[in-house]
Chains A and B, each alone.
Chain A
Amino acid sequence: MSIIVGEQTKLAVSGLTGREGSFHGLRNKAYGTDLVAGVTPGKGGQDVEGVPVFDSIKEAVEEAGANTSMIFVPARFAAPAINEAIESGVETVIAITEGIPVLDMLATYWKAKEAGVRLIGPNCPGVLSPGKANVGIIPAQFFDPGSIGVVSKSGTLTYQIGNELKQAGAGNSSIVGIGGDPIVGSDFIDILKLYEADPETELIVMVGEIGGDAEERAAEFIASDISKPVVAYIAGFTAPPGKQMGHAGAIISGSSGTAEAKKEALEAKGVRVGESPTETAAIAVEVLRSL
């Protein structure tokens, strides 16, 4: 097995007729993902290299059997496109677009929750299940099938760690980029739950970065609910302190959001934290071999 995307995935790409959308959508298809439809309002009836294009995601669901939607449309049109996907009947929506207004995402987040649709992103690289399916912009050639589940806020940092794991001879069950925006559809805890339940995943690598308190909350959850070993990496030890406007941020999170605070929170719960992507991959491989 794997999580979120796999052999069962039937993908519809919103924005397939655009430059980036076609480049990555067709790359996903070439990897073996079952790309069943493109969606662009007003371009229904056309095709992109043999992939039929529909006017709406609902048509892609009804006529092409799509169960997963990938959103690749420009930021100012992206939230309505995600909302359309949530209402279309797909199970999973993966939003790659970056720069979506956060209050739009707030409304969209609750819409997805109420509809029971799994939303990944926005501003994320997507989900790859090596050897099965790739939905998004993750360069799949740097990942092999295997038993390490990766969940990350950062795209490029994930490729870096995946590549190091591959060179060390380890592979992945899935790689999930949750995105670094203030409001994302799924956070570390949502994905940790899926990996805990996935029989193919033996170890989890979690990649975080400064800001917010998602890593601190994940540390608590790992201690209470995750039986599989977790190895973490946090970026941003030498980043300049972000300036803080007012007191409200500190009042609600009770956390400084620094890399050091996140590392301490994770280590306090027994999670090993690597100093660099390279060391993180080395620890993950060492722990995996000792299982």
Chain B
Amino acid sequence: MDLLEYQGKQLFGRAGVSVPDGEPARDVETAVAAADRIGYPCVVKAQVQIGGRGKAGGIKVAKDAEEARAHAEAIIGMNIRGPRGEGPFTVHEVWIEEASEIDAEYYASIILDRSAKKPLVILSRMGGMNVEEIADTDPDALVRRHVDPTKGLTTDEARTIGIDAGIDDDVVDGVAEILVKLYEAFAANDATLIEVNPLIVTAGREVVALDAKVTIDGNALFRHQDLAEIADTVEDPQEAMAKEKGLTYVKLDGNVGILANGAGLCMSTLDVVAQAGGAPANFLDAGGGSKAEAIVNALEVIKSDDKVTAILFNIFGGITRCDEIAKGIVTASSQLDLDLPLVVRLDGTNSEEGLRILAEADLPNLHQEKTMLDAARRVVELAGGAS
């Protein structure tokens, strides 16, 4: 789960990391009131879970109430795409923040390094927008240090990182203290990423986190009630419905609805449908051990996308039992008035029983195929080609 900037800053604040004063606002009036309280100049910042906001015009300085109003009007409701074309993400909320006088911009992050199986601290005296380029062209400008997850990060280690990164002498202690607190926040909140870019030194030589990118491990939310309450803003209606029903669904642009079990098989199913000349409408992993009810829910989500003209079930049962899937298909057909063509391929645990249930139900719109490739070809044919 990715936090919005201000949610990340609030988390930093609780951890004792200095952040600028600010207030969130979901409409223009609230934004202007917040700006009046904070004082001018202040910054109006789009809150979306993606980088590249500045370049997209989502961060503006306001020198008076009139400008604050104009910026809030322009930014709330705008669409922002990520640096790699992700999104678009619609801005539903802005963060009004006191303007900071910047003496220096550093970069600091802590990320779970999957290869090394340790958290990695990255610190650079060259913060700002082009840190990835710097990592490429001048790798020595970034200090990378793994942390022993059983011991944590000590102040001495953090100071060494600061010195090695060439941080100004007078703020090495301040930067080290922030690194230690960020690491504590990382561990205490089950984060997999904390990134501060820029970490600034103010004109008064104070070290302040001017941005916050925080990703929390969704599997650990059960022990973080406060974070669990921050609902991940899901915008697409199908995705919102799927999330509510506990399914993993990602909407795509095509017309072939897809349901498979297991992320790997589901991705592979998208690939073979595309190879057969079709355009997948979605990714939907029904998960391990799906029961009939989950299948009904999944079909409801897929069907609610008007673009879908045919649906492919590709199931290879391990922990999932094919008889449960078959029961779900039969129930869904009657409950949901499903008349779209359904291509079903069932294999694996209890597949004989599943096939028997389907044969008995004798649904007119159901087409069985024995192999994944045949099923992909069939569904593309029934869907009427790529949309």
Contacts and interface: CB of A to CB of B under 8 A. Distances in A.
Interface in B186-237: 187, 190, 192-193, 195, 197, 213, 215, 217, 219-220, 222-223
B87 A243 contact: yes
A276 B190 contact: no
A156 B318 contact: yes
B271 A106 contact: no
B267 interface: yes
Contact of B265 (A138, A160, A239): A160
Nearest to B132: A247
Interface stretch (A8-16, A48-56, A61-69, A248-256): A248-256
A160 B316 contact: yes
A278 B371 contact: yes
A163 interface: yes
Interface string B272-283: 111100001001
Interface stretch (B111-119, B295-303, B335-343): B111-119
B262 A244 contact: no
A236 B271 contact: yes
B150 A107 contact: yes
Interface in A227-241: 233, 235-241
Nearest to A159: B316
A233 B271 CA distance: 12
Interface in A173-207: 180, 182-183, 207
Nearest to B139: A251
Contacts of B320: 156
Nearest to B130: A247
B348 interface: yes
A241 B84 contact: yes
A277 B195 contact: no
B217 A106 contact: no
A131 interface: no
Interface size bracket, B side? 35 or more
Contacts of A43: none
Contacts of A157: 262, 264-265, 268
A75 B219 CA distance: 8
A156 B265 contact: yes
B264 A180 contact: yes
A251 B250 CA distance: 26
A180 B131 CA distance: 29
B149 interface: yes
A246 interface: yes
A265 B219 CA distance: 31
Given A103-B149, A248-B109, A248-B111, A137 B318 contact: yes
Contacts of A246: 51, 109, 193, 195, 197, 213
A33 interface: no
A17 interface: no
Interface SS of B by simple majority? mixed
A249 to B, nearest CB: 7
B122 A163 contact: no
A100 interface: yes
A98 interface: yes
A283 B295 CA distance: 34
B86 A243 contact: yes
Contacts of A212: 114-115
Interface in B125-148: 131-132, 135, 142, 144
Contact of A275 (B273, B275, B283): B275
Interface in B160-210: 187, 190, 192-193, 195, 197
A219 interface: no
B366 interface: no
Given A245-B195, A252-B120, A102 B112 contact: yes
Interface string B98-123: 00000000010111111101111010
B270 A239 contact: yes
A110 B122 CA distance: 22
B319 A137 contact: yes
B185 to A, nearest CB: 12
Interface stretch (A34-42, A86-94, A147-155): A147-155
Nearest to B111: A248
B39 interface: no
B31 interface: no
A25 to B, nearest CB: 12
Contacts of B217: 101-103
A214 B289 CA distance: 27
B247 interface: no
Contacts of B267: 209-210, 235-236, 238-239
Contacts of A270: none
A182 to B, nearest CB: 5
B112 A182 contact: yes
A101 B219 contact: yes
Contacts of A236: 267-268, 270-271
Contacts of B82: 243-244
A76 interface: yes
Given A102-B220, A137-B319, A277-B372, A209 B263 contact: yes
B18 interface: no
Interface string B343-354: 000011100000
B265 A278 contact: no
A44 interface: no
Contacts of A152: 264
Contact of B349 (A98, A110, A139, A249): A139
Interface in A67-120: 75-76, 96, 98-104, 106-107, 109-110
B364 interface: no
Interface in A127-173: 137-139, 142, 152-160, 163
7 contacts: A100-B219, A154-B263, A160-B268, A207-B264, A239-B270, A244-B83, A248-B193
| Complex A-B, nearest 5 residue pairs according to Cβ-Cβ distance, in ascending order | A154-B264, A156-B262, A101-B220, A157-B264, A156-B265
Given A210-B267, A245-B213, 20 more contacts: A100-B219, A103-B112, A103-B187, A103-B190, A106-B119, A139-B317, A155-B318, A156-B261, A159-B318, A207-B264, A233-B268, A235-B268, A235-B271, A238-B273, A238-B280, A244-B84, A247-B51, A252-B144, A275-B271, A276-B373
